[in-house]
Chain A
């Protein structure tokens, strides 16, 4: 039976005979996962739905009733599936290799199309920002900035490799961004102004 109210879902799932509600919810999760992830996850859709179902039924008390119950349940299913897909996609990438490669490759300076003044400005900003990264950030902040912001690795995957969790790594990155912002302002290179100058270049 579809079209249950939140209250009906909760009562049935917590009740003595949850099997019909469980089957309907499982079916809904499978269809939601298939629609959202399609070919990326087809072979594992049922496993993801099963894992999500377990997580949902174990955490019914954390549903705060601020959305439809099914939206909340789908949110959990999407998270279960995408976390696992990301883990697989990045399985063979080592954080250390990523960081070493970046240190090893000589990276070019300013764009050759620029006027000498623009190139000089870019080189000056580059040098300054490099110094700030080296001097102001902790080793962990620097690694996270490189891996997530510059290399585009998912936060969850970097967190896993650094022995922390996604939420904590986001906070660490937030602290790093705040510090760089303050320091850039302090040395006369407010980030908004620098962006405007770079865009003009």
Chain B
């Protein structure tokens, strides 16, 4: 009789602990740092690719060779846990700045924010947004060739 009673108590306690632990585990899994990759591309109204420097939080993203990363390319974005960062609630500002490149892909101008044929574009992305981020650039009407 005693053994049945203690067995039931043990079982009930174990199940209660499991019932509490499971939702907590599910919640905590959402609160860890997540690094996401986004494929960033930029086109104009005619659907032609426009080379752009990629911006994160208004700063140029640099490649391994310490030069600005150009579209189309993949950028890595760290999304900090919600409880510790305001950044995750509002997302991360991703942008593209049109640049002029030579035939070898070397940036000639535009990286400092000079007037270009197309206008710089930004948007706020969240960690669950689609991995492909396409920017369709507006023409800069004040630009004179």
The judgment on whether A and B are partners is no
